[in-house]
Structure 1
Amino acid sequence: MSCVSRSILIDVHLPASDEGTKHRLLEVLDDQLEQLGLTRTSFTHKLASSQLYVYVSDNDISGSLRVYPSNKLATLTLEESSDEQAMSNEDIECFRKQLQKELEMRVVRVPHLKRGPPVPNYYTSADERLLEYDFDKILFEKQSDFQEVKILSSPTLGAVLFLDDLQNLGECDLPYTHGIMDFGNYSYTDKDILILGGGDGGLLHELLKESPKFVTMIDIDEVVMQSCRKHLRGACGDCLDTYEGPNYNVIVGDCLEYMERYKNEGRKFDVVFSDLTDIPISAEIGGLAQQNEQWEFLSKVLNDSLDIMNKDGVFQNHAIGKGCVQALESYEKFLNTLKGTHFTKRIRFVPSFLEEWVFYSIFKDA
């Protein structure tokens, strides 16, 4: 895949913070970088906690070195923008080993980052670790009234839906759908089911295979459903081709408004799925205003769902990545405050998330 430039990141762990160590570092780097056509300029900038050095060349490579004496660390960044990649990962590894040998210091590299490709390939895990994908085509991209909707194509994952640049569901993600269903451990036969969210259609598609009595799905964003109907058929099949079937109905609307209506009507469900937003990554309920709004929204969704569930009903939902330990602890602390309920949890690896995801079942005690 073509890109505008590549960033090569190398860290040098300095054994000491004295001038002699810094001088030795600059001496070795000047020599090694000269072989790449790079020369250190006379520009040296003293920042609050570091010194910055700049390297330039007549070709398409430039570099910068920052030395952090108090942290005994130096960071080298090389930027190359040639039409053909000048340094492969193997070349960079050889360069790292040579630096380590010459400096007799610990030298660590980050695999080079590709900058400016036509299809974005860097995203993060739930706990904000960097992930690189192999997307090669943008199938759909549109800003709806609620979020940015994007579907990307991958040779290994198939089509993957992103909402506001967060991984949502891929054609490879049956483990996610089976995870939220607690597939194999709970029977949906003859059950009256409500799905909150789920606009990708993956959950509806799988539930309809389980011979339910009826499934009602409510999602606020029709752009999601229309795009998945065309580009994510490996996950949703044909269930979004029409919004009404013999045993299901898809509603475009606000789930909170419909749950309030169901409460007033006295309508009850055997199962309620929350396939909405993740639980916030913040450690505690409260804190940042936006995250607090998320907690309040999810709390209302759960409490309203309990109000419209039958006595032996179950609330099925996804939470967040397994690595977000404090967020999960906060969620379970909240679940433990709910009277007349108990919960179980399970973990599944979700291919397009590139991480393990946590799911919960909250049972209403009979």
Structure 2
Amino acid sequence: MTAQTVLLDFSIDPSRIGDKVGLKDTVKLLEKGLLEFFPQLKLIFETSTSDGHLCVFSQNDAIFLNARFFNHGIIAINIEYFKDNVEQPFVTFDKIRSLEKLLRKMLEAERSKHFPPIKRGCRIDVYLTSSDERILEYDIDKVIYEGTSPFQKIQIVHSKSLGNMLVLDELQNIAESDLIYTETLMQRGIENYEGKEICILGGGDGALLYELLKEKPKFVTMLEIDEMVMQVCNKYLKSICGDVLELRKSDNFEIIVDDCMIYLDKFIKEGKKFDYVFGDLTDIPISDTPTGEVWNFFRSILEHSFKILKPTGKYLTHGNGANRPDSLSMFEEQLEKLEPKVKFTRANAFVPSFMEDWVFYQITFDDV
């Protein structure tokens, strides 16, 4: 059961709204067209606004329709109604499409657009956002798990096309469809991990560790702070993590549940060095400037990671969406400030559950 909102908009000659007579005729035309689809619709309120005019219609107190007439020549229509589990034939997508065509003709609109219903108040939330804050609607049909750890909100949802998906704090993280994400992060086929010492910072879904172990490394140390994430992924994302989150330790890997900064400091003091360090923590922040707690954390992770890398070592991490060049540029500016100097390359991959192109970084010492 959801409250549903259908959006339509039309572009007409602005003079037809700015002129009182023209506005009155346009409102009448709109009402005439609406009545063909909603025969019991009544105008219950209208008023002039600073930027045009507003009309509110209702049909049996079940459907409410707001029409905003903007002086710039835009008519924006919002239709709101409640839909229970029983199909309600008075508002269907085909009906809305037909309504748009009729109103476009009657209003002599230059252009028009209708959108599928936006579902609000759902028990199952089907909307997530892209890196550049666009609304993405998923074919999620059930919530498999939902809980809150000391660090974040954790959800496992099922998508008909993507499989089970891990959502942390309302952000999509990885789905069963996303092998390309892990393979691009680790640069499979490009990097040689056989016999190498590797450290993973984060990686609680287990996917990176699981795939790295197939490359026959000498040893992988994984530092993950959120025990609950690992337990949940071990239960509901077996296809991407195998049994690594269940075993936790073997002859070629160990998962340590703790703050990675504590162990980075420990490794630095011990003089421990790795061939590869993976930053599989949070994505590059979205902000106006590279300041604040998250950016400070990022800088600290980078500084500490290069202190535990061998001279020929490499730091690999995920960045952000390719549609956020501002965020990526700020991250690259931080790389330029590191001492000793580093250099980097980038790789892109379209990640199914992100529904967008994602950027990954490969960073080495500048003299390598």
TM-score range relative to shorter protein: over 0.9
Distance in 1, matches of 2:303 and 2:228, equals 28
1:334 aligns with 2:339: no
Q: Which residue of the other structure, out of 164, 168, 171, is the alignment partner of 2:173?
A: 168
The answer on 1:299 being equivalent to 2:299 is yes
Name which of 207, 210, 213 aligns with 2:218. Answer: 213
- Cα shift at 1:21: 3.8
Q: Deviations over 1:79-122 (max 9, x none)?
A: 12243143332221111111110000122222221223331101
Aligned partner of 1:155 in structure 2 is 160
* Corresponding position of 1:289: none
1:12 corresponds to which of 4, 10, 13:
10
Partner of residue 54 from structure 2, selected from 52, 55, 71: 52
Determine the structure 2 residue equivalent to 1:203.
208
Helix, strand or coil at the partner of 2:233: helix
Give the aligned partner of residue 281 of structure 1: 286
CA distance in 2, matches of 1:137, 1:212: 38
Larger mean CA deviation between 44-53 and 247-256 belongs to 44-53
- Answering whether residue 95 of structure 2 is matched by residue 97 of structure 1, we say no
Using the TM superposition, name which of 84-93 and 293-302 deviates more.
84-93
Does the 8 Å contact 1:39/1:57 carry over to 2? yes
In structure 2, the residue matched to 1:224 is 229
Contact (CA 8 Å) 2:174, 2:353: kept in 1 or not?
Answer: yes
What aligned pairs does 1:102-121 form with structure 2 within 5 A after superposition? 102-105=106-109, 106-121=111-126
Q: Using the TM superposition, give the Cα deviation of residue 48 of structure 1 relative to its aligned residue in structure 2, in angstroms.
A: 4.4
- For the residue of structure 2 that corresponds to 1:53, the secondary structure is strand
Equivalent in the alignment of 1:251: 256
Query: 1:40·1:53 contact (CA, 8 Å) conserved in 2?
Result: no
User: Is the 2:349–2:357 Cα contact (8 Å) retained in structure 1?
Assistant: yes
RMSD: 1.6
Does residue 350 (structure 1) correspond to residue 351 (structure 2)? The answer is yes
SS of equivalent to 1:107: strand
What percentage of residue pairs aligned between the two structures are identical? 39
Partner of residue 138, structure 1? 143
Partner of 2:263, secondary structure, is helix
Q: Distance in 1 between matches of 2:248 and 2:319?
A: 27
Write the mapping of 1:254-273 to structure 2, written as runs, cut at 5 A: 254-273=259-278
In structure 2, C-alpha distance between the alignment counterparts of 1:38 and 1:246, rounded to whole Å:
74
Q: Distance in 1 between matches of 2:21 and 2:213?
A: 71
Is 1:65 aligned to residue 67 of structure 2?
yes
- For structure 1, which runs of at least 5 residues remain unmatched after alignment? 287-291
The corresponding residue for 1:77 is 78
Q: Counterpart of 2:25?
A: 24
CA shift at 1:329, angstroms?
A: 1.7
Name the residue aligned to 1:88.
92
Code of the residue aligned with 2:191 in structure 1: it is: Y
- 1:24: Cα distance to partner? 3.1
Distance 1:231 1:22 in 2: 57
The range that moved more, 19-28 or 295-304, is 19-28
Secondary structure in structure 2 of the residue aligned to 1:327: helix
- The unaligned stretches of length 5 or more in structure 2 are none
**1:282 Cα offset (Å):** 2.2
Output the CA distance in 1 between the equivalents of 2:92 and 2:344: 50
Distance 1:184 1:283, change over 3 A: farther
| Preserved CA contact (<8 Å) 2:5 2:117 | yes
Counterparts of 1:170 and 1:177, CA distance in 2:
11
Equivalent pairs, count: 358
Structure 2 CA distance for partners of 1:343 and 1:174, relative to 1, 3 Å: same
Q: 1:234 aligns with which of 235, 239, 251?
A: 239
Match of 2:130 in 1: 125
- 1:81 is paired with a residue whose SS is strand
Residue 334 of structure 1 deviates from its aligned partner by 2.2
Question: C-alpha separation between the residues in 2 aligned to 1:21 and 1:198?
Answer: 62
Length-normalised TM-score, structure 1: 0.93
Q: CA deviation at 1:59?
A: 6.2
* Matched-pair contact (CA < 8 Å) for 1:37–1:59: no
Q: Would you say the 8 A contact 1:14–1:21 is kept in 2?
A: no
